[in-house]
A and B are shown apart, each in its own frame.
Chain A
Amino acid sequence: MTRILAVDDSRTMRSMLQQALTGAGFEVELAEDGVDGLERLEAADPDLIITDINMPRLDGFGFIDGVRKGDRISSVPILVLTTESGDALKQRARDAGATGWIVKPFDEEKLVQIIQRLVV
């Protein structure tokens, strides 16, 4: 089963992601911010990561950086959750090492589609 690590500081957003993803048959591990996400990374061993950008302690870009600099799971696809859809944000996400992005509010179907495009 495809394992997804979802990182978001909002309870509501975490629950939404969990509902949408488990509903689509993914296995979901949740983390509350970048630090939490990095701590869980090893154990979660995800096939894909979804992360929010604005988070306390360590933001999404810092988190991605942490993942990419890691040893084992460094090239996992990472999707950034963002409320902006402009080119600037996309470029910034790319520069930070994100694989792709999902614009909030997301549509469950679309979310699943994007994920399926990134994992086998």
Chain B
Amino acid sequence: MHDTQTESRTVNRVEIVCFTVEDQDFSIEISHVLEIRGWTSTTTLPHAPDFVVGMMNLRGIVLPVVDLSLRLGFGKTEPGKRHVIIIAQIDDKIVGFLVDAVSDIITVDESEMQATPEVSSSRTQAFIRGVHSLDDKLVRAIDVREVLPQEAPLSA
């Protein structure tokens, strides 16, 4: 990837919000992020996938909160005061992502994103678009559309 043709390569700088889930580093493009909020209690939804924590009220907007830890294949989060919710807009839907902490907002070059290492579990593979390698850590860029709860088929 890093050849001599660096000059001709298009530089595609994007800002990303880095956050941690189970001590691992992940990121989401800042263009999706509306705001970051402390944990507030949610209303449990019936017949919802386990990773959908419930619905929260954001100034009158009713939106679902996804437990990213559970969604990404780690353990279930027992949310408390130290947890945060990243409010993100994906297409025309607004959702909250429950994460451990937001660590940084940085600018990266999208074209330098690397493929997800093969070692990851299949679930992680599906939800990660690629990896940014920064200094001493690997930050995985999540695929926001994939982690959303998929429309459950309703029988007629």
Direct contact of A and B (CB under 8 A): no
| B interface residues (Cβ-Cβ under 8 A, vs A) | none
